[in-house]
Amino acid sequence: MKTILITGAAGDVGTRLRRELAGKYVLRVSDLRPLKKISKEEKVVRADISKMSDALRITRGVAAIVHLGGYSVEGPWEGILSANIIGCYNVFEAARRNGVKRILFPTSNHATGFYPRNQTIDHRVYPKPDSRYGVSKVFGEALGSLYADKYGMEVFCMRIGNVNAVPIDKRRLAILFTPRDLAQLVTIGIEHPDIRFEIVYGVSNNKRSWYDNSNAYRLGYRPQDDSEVYAEKVLAREPPGGDPGAEQHQGGVFCVAEEVPNPAPLPKKTAKKKKRR
Ligand code: 15L
Residues in contact with ligand 1 by the CB-under-6-Å rule are 72-73, 108-110, 160, 162, 172, 262-263
Tell how far the Cα of 109 is from the centroid of ligand 1, in angstroms: 7
The mean pLDDT of the chain is: 94
Q: For atom 9 of ligand 1, which residue has the closest CA? A: 162
Is 115 assigned a catalytic role? Answer: no
Spatial CA neighbour of 132 closest among 194, 85, 200: 85
Give the pLDDT of residue 269: 54
Residues 155-164: tens digit of each pLDDT = 999 999 999 9
Which ligand 1 atom is at minimum distance from the Cα of 133? 2
Tell how far the Cα of 24 is from the centroid of ligand 1, in angstroms: 26
Give the pLDDT of residue 252: 97
Residue 1 clears pLDDT 80, i.e. is over it: yes
Q: How is residue 276 annotated by DSSP?
A: P
Q: What is the value of pTM for the model shown?
A: 0.94
How do 3-7 and 64-67 pair as beta strands? parallel
Tell how far the Cα of 229 is from the centroid of ligand 1, in angstroms: 21
Residues 179-238: tens digit of each pLDDT = 999 999 999 999 999 999 999 999 999 999 999 999 999 999 999 999 999 999 999 999
